[in-house]
Amino acid sequence: MTEGWTENDPTTVQKILDEVGTAPECALAFLQAVHRHYQYLPRLALEQAAASSRMTLAQLSGVASFYPHFRLKPVGRHRVRICTGTACHVKGAPLIWEALRRELKITGDEDTDAARQFTLEKVACLGCCTLAPVMQVGDWIVGRVTPDRVGSILADYLARPKPSTGGATFTPSPAADRSVAGEIRIGLGSCCQARGSAAVWEGFETAIRKTKSKVHLKRVGCVGMCSQTPLVEVIPSGQEPTLYPQVQAGDADLILRRHFAPASVSVRWRDSFDRWVESVLTDAGRRRQAELKAADADGVTDEFLRAQVRITTDHLEAMDPLDGAEYGHAGGFEMLRKSLAENDPEGVIRLITASGLRGRGGAGFPTGLKWNHVRRASGIPKYVIVNGDEGDPGAFMDRMLLESAPHRILEGMLIAAYAVGASEGIFYVRAEYPLALKRLREAIRQAAEAGWLGPRVGGTGWSFHVRVVEGAGAFVCGEESALLASIEGQRGHPRWRPPYPAERGLHGMPTLVNNVETLAAVPWILRQGAGSYAALGTVRSKGTKVFALAGKVRRGGLIEVPMGISIRRVVEELGGGVLPGRVFKAVQMGGPSGGCLPADQCDLPIDYEALTAAGVIMGSGGLIVLDDTDCMVEMARYFLEFTQDQSCGKCVYCRVGTSRLLEILTRLCNGKGHAQDLDLLKELAEGVRRSSLCGLGRTAPNPVLTTLRYFSDEVKAHMEGRCPAGRCRGLISFEVTDRCIGCTLCAQHCPVQAIAPRPYETQSIDQEICVRCGICREICPEQAIRLLSGRSDTKLIKGEQKGSPDGRH
C-alpha cells in the first residue's frame, strides 16, 4: 500500500488524467501533475493511470524512475534544496550539504530527518550563482550560507511568519494614466526575487499608497547585474533615470521621497516629520541615507555595461515581461508580420544564413543551414521545438530570457516555424523554472489572443499551435534526440544520429530544435539586417553570446558580449577581476561539457573554433572564474560527478566509463592514486570522448582532458599526496599556531566539536573529528589557524612507499 493513499485519491488522479490526456506521450505531463499534487509519485497513482489510459505501467515506471525531479518516496514537511551548481560548489556547497545532514542527523541513504520535518535534496542549479552558496527552504532562497548558519536558517524558516513572496501578485499600476509623475522599475526575475526584490516591490507599493504619489510601479526583466540586485530604477517624467543597486525593502520611502514629492499637504507634513525623526535619531537611518547611492556614481555600472552588446537581452531592464501590448508597441511581432506579408520563407532562411547565427545551445551548428534542412525534409506535420532544458550547473541564460522576454522568444519561434513550414511548436522547459513557465504560458495566451497563434496566424492561411512541455531535471534531455524521446513521453534516452531530427524528429517527422537564446536573436536580425549581426564577432562566430558570469569574480551576473571579445576582458573589465589578495587562476567554460582554461590562455577570443581548439567549449554559456584556492583536479572530479550522475545509462562508454573516470579522480583527490592511474585516466577519457553514443558522453571527459592538458603539475602533486590549492579535504589539515589568544571563537563555531574550548589557552584541533571545513580559519580574528597541505597521516605515506615502490597498494 502506498503511504497516505486514501479513497479520495482515485478521483484526484482521474481529474489529472482528464486534464493532461491519456495518450502515451502524456506520460511526462501526467507524472508532473501527480508530483505537483503529492510532492512525490504514489505507486497506486501510476497503477490507476495504467489501468485507465493508454500509458502502460512499464512506461510510467521507467519514466518515473528516470527523471531526477521525481521522487518515489513521500517527502518531509519542508523540502530543503542545496544548490550544487559550479559557483556554489567552488564556494563550499559540499560543506553546506554535510552541515545540514549533521544538523538534521540524517545518515546513510536517508534524505529526511527522523521527525519528517525536512527533506534534503541536491539541485543542479538554482540560478543564483552570484549569491553562492545558496540553499532553498520551501520557497525561501537563502544566499551566502555558511555551514555554521544552517541550524539557525532552518529555525528561522520554521519561526517566520507566512511567506510574503509567494503571495505577492505584482499587479503593475495602470500605465494608461498619463498624468503620472514618473516610473519606478523593479527587476523581478527569479534571482532578483531570491535577493528580496519581491519585498522591495511590496515596500514601494506601500510607500506609494502611503504618500499617494502618482508613480507607476513597473515589473521589468533581468538587467544582468545580479551582484547588485535588487535593482530599482527611478524615472521621474522628463528626467534622467537613476539606478539604485542593492535596495532593501525599507529604502522605498527614502528613494520615493528623493525623487517624488508626496501628493497631499498632510502627507507631506507627516512625512517630513518622520524623515526628521529617522535621520536625527537613528544612526542606521542616517548611514543608509548616505549609503544609498545611485549605481552610476562609482562607475561600476558603466564598466559592467560598456563592453556589452545587447541583442537578445535588449530592453529587458525597461520592459514588463508580461505585457504583450508593450512588446507590440516597441516593435514586437513586427518582424513576424513583415515575414508573413512578404511571404518569402526561403528569403528568411537566406537572411538567417547570411547573418552567420549559430546554435547557442553549445554545439554551434549554423542555424540557417538547420532551418534549410527542415524546410527541405519531406513529411507533414513539421515541428519546431524550443529547447529550454537548460541543465548546466551554473548557467541560467535561458531561464532569464524566458522570464524576461517570453514574447521575443515566441516571435523568434514563429518566424522559424514559418520559415521551415512547421505547424506545431513545443516549448520544452525545465519544471525547476516555475516563473519562466508561468510567464511563458501567459505570453502564449496573450499571443493567441492577439491572433499570433492559432488556425490563422496574423490573418494568413498559416496555422500554428504551441504547447509547453515541462522537463523533469534530466541534463541529458538537452540533447536533441533525448529531448524528443522525453516529449514523446519516454525515458530520455538519446539515439544514434543521423538521421537528425531535421529529417526524422518528433513522431518521425521533420523537426527543428533550436535553443532559446538562438531564437531570441532572430527578431533582431530580421529588424537590423543580417549584415548588422554578421558585423559583430569573428570570421566564423558572429553576433553576441550571453554568459552567466560567476565564481570568484567581484561582479557576477548575466552579460551579453560580442563574439571575439577576449575572456580576460570579460573577467577583468566586466567582472572586475577576482577578489583582492587572490590570484586569477582559470575560467571554467561550458559547464560539465567544457573545461578549465588557465589564466595565461585567457587572451583567447570567444569564438567557437578557438575555444574548441583550446579544449574547452562555448557551451551554453556558463563562465565560472576560479582563483588560487580552487583545485583543478577537484573541479574535474566535480564535473565528472555531475555527468556520471546524469548519464542516462544507455551506452556502455558513458554509463561505465564516466563512473570509472570518477573513481580515478576521487582516488586522486584523496591522495590515493595508483601509479597507472594517470595513463588510465587519459586513455579512458579519450575512449569515452570517441565512443559514447551522444553529446553528453562525448563531451563528459572534457573537464578531465583540460585538467590533464593545462594543470598536469597539479595532477602530479595529487599523485604525491598534495593539493597545492589546499582544497582537497583528504589532503589537508588545520593546525592552531601560537598566535592563538584563547578566545575560543573557533571552538564555538566548529560544527563537529573538534576543538574543545580552553579559554586563554592555545586551542588544539582533534584531527580525528575535524571535517576540514575551514570555518575555524575564517572565524579566527588572529589568523592563528594554519592550513597544511599533504596528508596528515604521515605513517600511511611512509608505509606505502616502503610496501610498494611502484605505488600500487
Partner 1 sequence: MADIKAVQLTIDGRTTQAAVGTTIHAAAVTMGIQIPTLCWKPGFHPSGSCMVCAVQVVGRSGFIPSCTAVVEEGLQVETSTDAVRAARRTALELLLSDHAGDCEGLCQRGCPAGLDIPAMIRAMASDRMEEALAITWKKIALPAILGRICPAPCEKICRRGAADAPVSICLLKRRVGDWALSQDPPRIPACKPPTGQRVAIIGAGPAGLAAAFELLQAGHACDIYDDHSVAGGGLRHAEEEGRLPAEVRAGEIERLTRMGAHWRLGTRVNLPGELTDLRRDHDAVILALGPLVAGWEKDWGQPYTDGSGWLADRVTGATGHAGIFVAGGINHSSRLAVRALADGRRVARGVDHWLQQGQVVGEPHRYTHQAGPLTEAELGMLMQGADAAPRREPVHPDFTPAEAQEAAGRCLQCDCRRKTDCRLRDRADELCAHPARFKGHRRAWEIDRTHPALIYESGKCIACGLCIEVSRRPGAAEGGGLTFWKRGLGIEVRPPWGRDWRQTLTGDPAAYVAACPTGALAMERRWC
- Applying CB under 8 A, the residues found at the interface with partner 1 are 43, 46-47, 50, 56-62, 64-66, 72, 474, 491, 493, 495-496, 498-499, 644-653, 655-657, 659-660, 663, 680, 684, 687, 689-691, 693, 698
What is the smallest separation between the CB atom of 491 and partner 1, expressed in angstroms? 6
What is the smallest separation between the CB atom of 633 and partner 1, expressed in angstroms? 18
What is the smallest separation between the CB atom of 662 and partner 1, expressed in angstroms? 9
User: What's phi and psi for 430, nearest 5 deg?
Assistant: -60, 140
When the beta carbons of 62 and 742 are compared against partner 1, the nearer one is 62
Query: Please, which residues bridge with residue 433 across strands?
Result: none
When the beta carbons of 154 and 693 are compared against partner 1, the nearer one is 693
What is the smallest separation between the CB atom of 378 and partner 1, expressed in angstroms? 13
What is the smallest separation between the CB atom of 692 and partner 1, expressed in angstroms? 8
When the beta carbons of 121 and 782 are compared against partner 1, the nearer one is 121
What is the smallest separation between the CB atom of 495 and partner 1, expressed in angstroms? 7
* Stretch (H or E) spanning 199: helix 197-211
When the beta carbons of 476 and 589 are compared against partner 1, the nearer one is 476
User: What's phi and psi for 550, nearest 5 deg?
Assistant: -155, -170
Are the CB atoms for 668 and 714 separated by under 8 Å? no
Retrieve residue 137's grid coordinates. 527552504
When the beta carbons of 548 and 693 are compared against partner 1, the nearer one is 693
When the beta carbons of 292 and 680 are compared against partner 1, the nearer one is 680
What is the smallest separation between the CB atom of 551 and partner 1, expressed in angstroms? 27
Could you give the CA distance from residue 417 to residue 425 in angstroms, rounded to a whole number? 8
Could you give the CA distance from residue 737 to residue 592 in angstroms, rounded to a whole number? 39
When the beta carbons of 154 and 688 are compared against partner 1, the nearer one is 688
Burial, 50: exposed, middle or buried (Cβ in 10 Å; 0-12, 13-18, 19+)? middle
Query: From edge to edge, which strands make up the β-sheet containing 511-515?
Result: 465-471, 424-430, 383-388, 511-515
When the beta carbons of 27 and 436 are compared against partner 1, the nearer one is 27
Q: Residues 135-140: contacts with CB within 8 Å, 24+ apart?
A: 135/80, 135/81, 135/82, 135/83, 135/96, 135/100, 136/79, 136/80, 136/81, 136/82, 136/83, 137/78, 137/79, 137/80, 138/78, 138/79, 138/163, 139/163, 139/165, 139/166, 140/165
**Buried/exposed code over 732-745 (b: 16+ C-beta within 10 A; e: otherwise):** bbbebeeebebbbb
What is the smallest separation between the CB atom of 695 and partner 1, expressed in angstroms? 11
Could you give the CA distance from residue 38 to residue 694 in angstroms, rounded to a whole number? 34
**Residue whose C-alpha cell reads 535553443 in the numeric block:** 515
Q: How many residues does the chain have?
A: 809
What is the smallest separation between the CB atom of 73 and partner 1, expressed in angstroms? 12
What is the smallest separation between the CB atom of 694 and partner 1, expressed in angstroms? 10
What is the smallest separation between the CB atom of 485 and partner 1, expressed in angstroms? 12
CA 530 to chain centre: 30
Could you give the CA distance from residue 137 to residue 157 in angstroms, rounded to a whole number? 7
Residue 450 is classified by DSSP as: T
What is the smallest separation between the CB atom of 640 and partner 1, expressed in angstroms? 12
Peptide bond into 42 cis (omega under 30): no
What is the smallest separation between the CB atom of 498 and partner 1, expressed in angstroms? 7
When the beta carbons of 172 and 499 are compared against partner 1, the nearer one is 499
DSSP H stretches of helix in 510-604: 516-520, 522-528, 530-534, 567-569
Residue 228 is classified by DSSP as: G
What is the smallest separation between the CB atom of 665 and partner 1, expressed in angstroms? 12
Are the CB atoms for 685 and 661 separated by under 8 Å? yes
**Residue whose C-alpha cell reads 496566424 in the numeric block:** 457
DSSP string, 25-58: GGHHHHHHHHHHHHSS--HHHHHHHHHSSS--HH
Pick left, alpha or beta for residue 166 (phi over 0 → left; psi -120 to 50 → alpha; otherwise beta).
Answer: alpha
**Helix, strand, or coil (residue 734):** strand
When the beta carbons of 649 and 803 are compared against partner 1, the nearer one is 649
When the beta carbons of 509 and 693 are compared against partner 1, the nearer one is 693
* Cα dihedral sign, 799-805-807-809: negative
